[in-house]
Chains A and B, each alone.
Chain A
């Protein structure tokens, strides 16, 4: 989010998902797309069938990597050197788009000087990817007429997540691969409405529609709309809130639809913080690990039990319509908030989600033309949609970047917060699998999905497994400086020697007891993708 906002001025997919089908080159970085975004992977594979070249940057040999033409299996945490090396190749081979750089961007010289100082061979060495492969990827990407970069949490969940994204943006601008249809930079969002949550200001420093809380004019607009005085300072980020400690400055919390007791790094600290609160309220559709710690639990309605709109990864706002009434005492989140607010002395009186949408259109320029009657038609609208007659925007940055000129933000290699050493010799990456969603609050209640997969598996290379004498499926202990868990070993060459991989879906093997709470200084996103661990064989006693 922060990375694209500083370079392009807008933190969202620049393309529509369907445009990916028409790209000539697709560069996928840090995204296990077939498992995490199958509907996007479908477009990628469709493009490949039409002759597109697929380049996958991923430490693991994912299924998409197997389907790719070039797989750059980098060392985790070396995205910046890898992309810098690609950019240097573009410069050296005259594949930079000089006209685009001149007309549409700024701060190019800083990037050029940084790139020219690079020792290519050394940089390639750092990433673990052979230089000829990097060169080939750069040539493919640079020469394409239509090229798309898709990235996901493998890029952002690092201490240098913001710089990683900025470097991706640098690459796209250097090659002039932005502003056109079927060409751009596309962060893939993990949830149906995480884009919508950001759009509505569920960020510490933004009011809805990315209106900075520091800006007095923006604040005043919302103060008039809501009839209250708004704080001038930004709020806290997620990890600041959940890692405050037992005596943290936050004394009460209301958590909605989130399960930090499984999803946040260094769980022992999260538990200490939540238990140390004076008051915790949680609203969720099931009694999650987090809800168990709450004094008050609000049973929430699920997507099929309420009406309103969701905003997906491609900035598309679509209606969701109530199909069944909520069971028992469950209520829609909006009703819970309104009722809570009323009892706290601020009456929110919205009769329908349509009325809320009218207020959104009034106060949030990029949603300016979005009203329920328009969203009812076809497949909704993509922001920015400035007024009632605006058709919505399939791809961003045509003619000019949201922030005016695209800003090059050169970055250098930042090593991960924790790397393997003698005591903890393996590098742990975490992620997701096809059959489960996040902390399993919903998916682990499905008989069919749990039949497909119902336990945490630690992917480990055959060489490492052999060194420890592990058998397939054997229960092993995984230990980091912060904690330990037990889980099943899955021996596979999908991971390189020296790396292990697992998921965070399973409460009985809560991997985030182990992960590091180092975080990115820009976005405050935790480094879920790299920490140091060791695997121990469990001896029979």
Chain B
């Protein structure tokens, strides 16, 4: 499939010319890419100085693109106190058109999922004003990291659709596939950087894909866990043991590229008024569901964990036909208690034997 799809719309970009191409893009767009900082952490960063930035395309970045479309804390409104009550004014923001470069398939899949959450039933203007005018340039994963399992969630290691341009590292050159019209426009505008791909390039692309698929160090049986959740056969013990180990830090939800739950709070700044903020939240927090009198409809001990995994693996499959876990492995790295989604899948599947 990968091979056939690539045949019609692919180009080559020599690695030597990558920086030149990005420099052209940076003239018209804000440029965001995974950059290794001086503490050697890789993070999606707004690049101001292309020559000073060390762009890292292999090691997965620690953050996802979530923060760019749904900031950890965003001011939605300001309000003034009037004699009649409160007068709310939406906060105007001009988001520069942005190119997100070097996005791995998991993170691309996550953006597509967020698009569904924030625009299918109700259009969220604050999300959409950041998302509109953004260009996604993906890069396929030739060597998945140790915690990666996107092969089990259907979101990698190679992506065939969803991005505007999709790059595959072929050693000294990238094979560039066009996914959407904005990508086509970029190629046409800067065609001097690109050359047509030949059969041997497409063969190399397919070969790289096959090799990447064989490089996963984990076998995570997500499909089987989904079936167990659907049949409601996950042993109760799995939930109690996991919830005992969960240390309630919320790290999984904050790092997860598809966890989009938020809370809204009003902050009074002075006598004259204040602001309305939207901030990230996590369903594993007791306060996420607790009611004013202290009653919590989610059974605190096991309910929060159950809610999280059931949503990711069962409810989203029911609604969208695929889990909202994209297999990026970030929660595996951050989890204090060893109660991440991989651990859940493993435990749930053991229970079925």
Contact = CB atoms under 8 A, between A and B. Distances in A.
Interface stretch (A33-41, A82-90, A223-231, A261-269): A33-41
Contacts of A447: 265
A45 B247 CA distance: 11
A447 B278 CA distance: 12
Contact of A45 (B245, B279, B285): B245
A66 B336 contact: no
Contacts, number: 37
Contact of B247 (A38, A46, A452): A38
A452 B285 contact: yes
A65 B305 CA distance: 20
B317 interface: no
B269 to A, nearest CB: 14
Given A34-B247, A473-B294, A42 B287 contact: no
B50 interface: no
B204 interface: no
A42 B336 contact: yes
A451 B338 CA distance: 25
A45 B249 contact: no
B265 A45 contact: no
Contacts of A66: 244
B244 A45 contact: no
A399 interface: no
Contacts of A46: 338
A67 interface: yes
Contacts of B285: 448, 451-452
B248 interface: yes
Contacts of B46: none
B244 A38 contact: no
B336 A39 contact: yes
Nearest to B248: A434
A448 B287 contact: yes
Interface string B267-289: 00000000000010100011100
A38 B251 CA distance: 12
Contact of A451 (B245, B248, B249, B287): B287
B337 interface: yes
Bin the interface of chain A by size: 10 to 19
Contact of B244 (A42, A67, A448): A67
- Majority secondary structure, A binding face: helix
Contacts of B245: 45, 67
A63 interface: yes
Interface string A61-95: 00100110000000000000000000000000000
Contacts of A67: 244-245
A423 interface: no
Contacts of B279: 448
A49 interface: yes
Contact of B338 (A34, A45, A452): A45
Interface in B325-353: 336-338
B337 A42 contact: yes
A259 B290 CA distance: 31
Given A46-B338, A448-B287, A452-B287, A41 B294 contact: no
B287 A41 contact: no
Interface string B257-271: 000000001000000
A63 B248 CA distance: 12
B183 to A, nearest CB: 37
Given A38-B247, A38-B249, A45 B286 contact: no
B76 to A, nearest CB: 15
Contact of B336 (A38, A448, A452, A473): A38
A42 B246 CA distance: 10
Nearest 6 pairs between A and B by C-beta? A451-B287, A42-B336, A452-B287, A38-B247, A38-B336, A34-B247
29 contacts: A34-B247, A34-B337, A38-B247, A38-B336, A39-B336, A41-B247, A41-B336, A41-B337, A42-B336, A42-B337, A45-B245, A45-B336, A46-B338, A49-B338, A63-B244, A66-B244, A67-B245, A434-B247, A434-B248, A447-B265, A448-B285, A451-B285, A451-B287, A451-B290, A452-B248, A452-B285, A452-B286, A452-B287, A473-B294
Given A45-B337, A45-B338, A63-B244, 10 more contacts: A41-B336, A41-B337, A42-B337, A447-B265, A448-B281, A451-B285, A452-B248, A452-B285, A452-B286, A452-B287
